[in-house]
Chain A
Amino acid sequence: MRNRKMNSIVALAAAAVLCIGLAGCGGSGGAGSTAAASSAAASAGSSAASSAGAGSDMSNTLVYAGENEDSINPVLTNHDELTDVIFSGLMKYDKNGKPVNDLAEKVDFDEASLTYKFALRKGVKWHDGKDFSAKDVEFTYKELTEDKNLSNSLTTDYEDIESIKVVDDNNVEIKMKKYNANMLGYFTIGIIPKHLLEGKEISTDEFNKKPVGTGRYKFVSWDTTGGMITLEKNTDYYDKVPNIDRIVYKTVAVESTKATMIQSGEADLAWLNANYAAKFKDNANFNTWDFATADYRGASMAMESDFWKNNKDSIGVLNYALDKDAIIKSVLNNQGQAAYSPIQKNPLGSNKEADIYSYDLTKFDEEMKKLGWEKGSDGIYARNGQKFHFRIQTRDYEEERVDIANLMSSMLKKAGVEMEVCLVTKFDWKAGYDGFLAGFATQFDPDMAYKQFVTNGSSNTMKYSNPKVDELLEKGRRGKTEAERLEAYGQFEVEYAKAPGVLLVAYLDGNYVGAKGVKGLDTTRVLGHHSVGVMWNIEEWTITR
């Protein structure tokens, strides 16, 4: 009998020790086991050293924990770190987000004929050793303007191009149908090689899994099972050759996994959400960088869903019921700002007059009544026999979005509106959700918002349509002076705020965390969606172990 009791006590004690041990892991940094449990992506950890560049040492290799990747091709994916380092464009963005020459040595714009004349750099080579020429430029822009099969969210950016003319190997002319204020910005898109892609179906070609570019780093290998992409510096690069020999890019979707990878030293650099990043601040073993971003979060409503078709007049009013500052304080650990306009972080945006909503539940109730909504016995508003209930989807591994969505839902519920949050592993656009927890950024020119909000724009997936917004965005795009554009975008912000398609919540700061030895990141640049663009000056980075 005593034995049995002893057994129970020992078992209890063992269980307690186990629990404490588990909790203790977080503090001591030995969190490898959690990383392994939460994502298969992390499993590639130990093999990184052996397979990254046969026989070469890891001392000058940067292991980066980044987003998931399907394909690496600038014509297909617009916000992506890897396309920026593997490919290069006619222009590139400088530290202030202004387009400057890159593959183009010189660019002239002839206003009378609306023609851009590019003189290309001489002696540029593709990573496979072939010569880069004006024909590649022609090929790339023909793809963007003429390929009807190209499923690309960017095509609206290039719809003003009328023709592309190759003058000789080093000169190319692009004629426009109309003046476009941000065209030089759009010329930053990476050029793709004609000799590898001509006559092929770009969207599905295997090139997207083994890209060849003209950029600072060469693609080496893609271990899809381990989730690891290896790049090597391009020693023939036409400009400054990077200091870091190799980049191992690990595809990790789960935020907590990224954090544990940084903690255990399995990755050298990653973008973390604000709460995780805060844990690494003031820790001598890590560096943290806080970038400004133009990346906002909000619930983007599917304007053609059954619910919003009848009730799209009642999206803006929901802003009154959201305590955005409380969301920023909790989910974003104060690393963000309340959002009122989709181009608020842009120098040509930020019209304070568009900030027409404040957190005010009394006002919310008044406005709802004006719109004809009445609270039912269950405390939920209804109009014409329809309850104010809509469903938005969010991906379950994006913790920060899930948290934002849950808080929004709880705040709206309190105000009398049901926003049901549906967690999905992959966005399902055909399942009839009324929207999704979205993020977008217009980090360079406000015209980047054109394709998202203009009727039938190439990235207007939620089918937003508003004639006034169309008109003002068009005015901004065609504006020749800064003053003219500033006015157009200011009006756009106000009009959009009155009848929004996105229930805006907050702008995020971009918190990067890295190992102590990683140096050279420059926070001058305003980053994009998912804090993309951090590698804009990667050639200057160094790593010491």
Chain B
Amino acid sequence: MVVQRDKGKPIVSIIILGIIIICCIFAPFITNHDPSQYYLDALNRAPDTEYLFGTDSLGRDLFSIMFFGGRTSIMIGVLGAAIITVIGVIYGCISGISGDKVDSVMMRFVELCGSIPSILMTLILTAIFPAKDVFSMSVIVAITGWFALARIVRSEVRQIRNSEYVLYARSIGGSFLYVMRRHLIPNFLSAIMFVVVSSIGACITAESTLSFLGLGLPLDILSWGSMLSLANKALIMNTWWVILIPGLFLVITLICITNIGNHLRKEVNRKSSNL
């Protein structure tokens, strides 16, 4: 039984993701150059033993930027997902527990916002509040990403809101936050886990997209997205490593996260079908 369970788990994804995250956390020990330094005697260097991932047109070491930048990107992913979870869970719980009228107004609002292409909303938001640091960037990508989660939470809550234990807790005066914490969240946690994990990937993607378009973090904050923003130049300069390596890193990280998320979703589905 145990063996079979382990088989289903995305072990490879977890290991790869773990390695990437550990490398990013211990970036100062792994990298062999200063990521913010311009090595003017090594411009446009293809990957070699000194500059493992090569350098860009101003002699910045891509290997070092990769891991230092990964810190920013993963941080934005995790922070963004956390904000999404907080907003989505609270909003979903309120909506789920409220009466039909409030519920439908709240859900229509979510649908309305969800129907606006998220890239458009993000662009508008960055125009109003320019993303100056990691936190504001996370907020911007999170604000446009919580709608799906809110809907799932709401439907889960509606299923259990009339259970005796919930009714009892509320009738003896348990506050909304208490009920949410003690009775609602534990019940739908596993159901939303895959959305939360996937939103880490979504936030990383959103940051990269924005930075690629030149609307994301300032260029002096290193991230995978700001590395990709060098891609345009790289295409003209024929320096393939400048775009290929960060691209691959980003893609591999995202695949790993998706894979883990996918696994969690399957777990949930299996449980439901066991009912």
Contact across chains for A279 and B237 when beta carbons are under 8 A apart: yes
Known: A11-B255, A12-B255, A406-B58. A23 touches B248 (CB 8 A): no
Q: Which size class do A's interface residues fall under?
A: 35 or more
A15 surroundings in chain B (CB, below 8 A): 248, 251-252, 255
| Of A60-68, A158-166, A255-263, the one touching chain B | A255-263
Known: A330-B57, A406-B58. A23 touches B235 (CB 8 A): yes
| Per-position binary interface string of chain B over residues 218-231, scored 1 when its CB falls under 8 Å from any chain A CB and 0 otherwise | 11100000000001
Contact across chains for B38 and A407 when beta carbons are under 8 A apart: yes
Contact across chains for B247 and A22 when beta carbons are under 8 A apart: yes
Contact across chains for A23 and B255 when beta carbons are under 8 A apart: no
Contact across chains for B255 and A256 when beta carbons are under 8 A apart: no
Known: A19-B251, A20-B244, A38-B232. A402 touches B238 (CB 8 A): no
Measured CA separation A276–B237 after assembly (Å): 7
Number of interface residues of B (CB under 8 A): 34
A31 surroundings in chain B (CB, below 8 A): 235-236
B233 to chain A, nearest CB (A): 6
B252 surroundings in chain A (CB, below 8 A): 12, 15
Contact across chains for A19 and B37 when beta carbons are under 8 A apart: no
Measured CA separation A260–B58 after assembly (Å): 20
Contact across chains for B251 and A407 when beta carbons are under 8 A apart: no
Measured CA separation A329–B41 after assembly (Å): 9
Q: B138 at the A/B interface (Cβ < 8 Å)?
A: no
Contact across chains for B259 and A8 when beta carbons are under 8 A apart: yes
Q: Of A1, A23, A410, which is within 8 A of B36 by CB? A: A410
Q: A432 at the A/B interface (Cβ < 8 Å)?
A: no
Q: A16 at the A/B interface (Cβ < 8 Å)?
A: yes
A256 surroundings in chain B (CB, below 8 A): 232-233, 235-236
A324 to chain B, nearest CB (A): 12
Contact across chains for B237 and A410 when beta carbons are under 8 A apart: no
Contact across chains for A279 and B58 when beta carbons are under 8 A apart: no
Contact across chains for A19 and B248 when beta carbons are under 8 A apart: yes
Known: A1-B7, A256-B232. A275 touches B57 (CB 8 A): yes
Contact across chains for A34 and B38 when beta carbons are under 8 A apart: no
Q: A228 at the A/B interface (Cβ < 8 Å)?
A: no
Q: B47 at the A/B interface (Cβ < 8 Å)?
A: no
Residue of chain A at shortest CB distance from B218? A423
A399 surroundings in chain B (CB, below 8 A): 233
Kindly name the residue among B235, B248, B251 whose own CB sees the greatest number of chain A CB atoms within 10 A.
Answer: B235
Q: Of B58, B220, B235, B240, which is within 8 A of A330 by CB? A: B58
Q: A26 at the A/B interface (Cβ < 8 Å)?
A: yes
Q: Of A27, A263, A330, A396, which is within 8 A of B38 by CB? A: A330
Contact across chains for B58 and A403 when beta carbons are under 8 A apart: yes
B59 surroundings in chain A (CB, below 8 A): 330
Measured CA separation A11–B252 after assembly (Å): 10
| Per-position binary interface string of chain B over residues 242-261, scored 1 when its CB falls under 8 Å from any chain A CB and 0 otherwise | 01100110011001000100
Residue of chain B at shortest CB distance from A414? B37
| Per-position binary interface string of chain A over residues 41-77, scored 1 when its CB falls under 8 Å from any chain B CB and 0 otherwise | 0000000000000000000000000000000000000
Known: A20-B244, A279-B238. A396 touches B214 (CB 8 A): yes
B234 surroundings in chain A (CB, below 8 A): 23, 26
Query: Within A391-421, which residues are at the interface with B (CB < 8 Å)?
Result: 396-397, 399, 402-403, 406-407, 410, 421
A402 surroundings in chain B (CB, below 8 A): 219
Contact across chains for A26 and B36 when beta carbons are under 8 A apart: no
Measured CA separation A406–B218 after assembly (Å): 12
B116 surroundings in chain A (CB, below 8 A): none
A435 to chain B, nearest CB (A): 18
| Per-position binary interface string of chain B over residues 7-41, scored 1 when its CB falls under 8 Å from any chain A CB and 0 otherwise | 11000110000000000000000000000111010
Q: A331 at the A/B interface (Cβ < 8 Å)?
A: yes
Contact across chains for B40 and A260 when beta carbons are under 8 A apart: no
A275 surroundings in chain B (CB, below 8 A): 57, 237
Contact across chains for B238 and A26 when beta carbons are under 8 A apart: yes
Q: A167 at the A/B interface (Cβ < 8 Å)?
A: no
Contact across chains for B248 and A259 when beta carbons are under 8 A apart: no
Q: B90 at the A/B interface (Cβ < 8 Å)?
A: no
Q: A356 at the A/B interface (Cβ < 8 Å)?
A: no
Q: A371 at the A/B interface (Cβ < 8 Å)?
A: no
A331 surroundings in chain B (CB, below 8 A): 58
Residue of chain B at shortest CB distance from A256? B232
Measured CA separation A34–B37 after assembly (Å): 28
Q: B43 at the A/B interface (Cβ < 8 Å)?
A: yes
A498 to chain B, nearest CB (A): 29
Q: A196 at the A/B interface (Cβ < 8 Å)?
A: no
Measured CA separation A406–B222 after assembly (Å): 14
Q: Of A22, A406, A410, which is within 8 A of B243 by CB? A: A22
B184 to chain A, nearest CB (A): 32
A26 surroundings in chain B (CB, below 8 A): 234-238, 240
Query: Within A1-43, which residues are at the interface with B (CB < 8 Å)?
Result: 1, 8, 11-12, 15-16, 18-20, 22-27, 31, 34, 37-38
B57 surroundings in chain A (CB, below 8 A): 275, 330, 403
A25 surroundings in chain B (CB, below 8 A): 235
Measured CA separation A279–B219 after assembly (Å): 25
A16 surroundings in chain B (CB, below 8 A): 248, 251
A20 surroundings in chain B (CB, below 8 A): 244
Contact across chains for B219 and A23 when beta carbons are under 8 A apart: no
B255 surroundings in chain A (CB, below 8 A): 8, 11-12, 15
Chain A interface (Cβ < 8 Å from any Cβ of B): 1, 8, 11-12, 15-16, 18-20, 22-27, 31, 34, 37-38, 256, 259-260, 263, 275-276, 279, 323, 326-327, 329-331, 396-397, 399, 402-403, 406-407, 410, 421, 423
CB-CB nearest 8 A-B residue pairs: A26-B235, A15-B251, A23-B240, A256-B232, A19-B247, A326-B40, A259-B236, A330-B40
List 9 contacting pairs A-B, 8 Å CB cutoff, sorted by A: A1-B7, A15-B255, A38-B213, A260-B232, A330-B57, A330-B58, A403-B58, A406-B58, A423-B218
Starting from the known contacts A22-B243, A403-B57, 8 additional A-B residue pairs (CB-CB under 8 Å) come to A8-B12, A19-B243, A26-B235, A38-B214, A279-B237, A330-B40, A330-B43, A396-B214
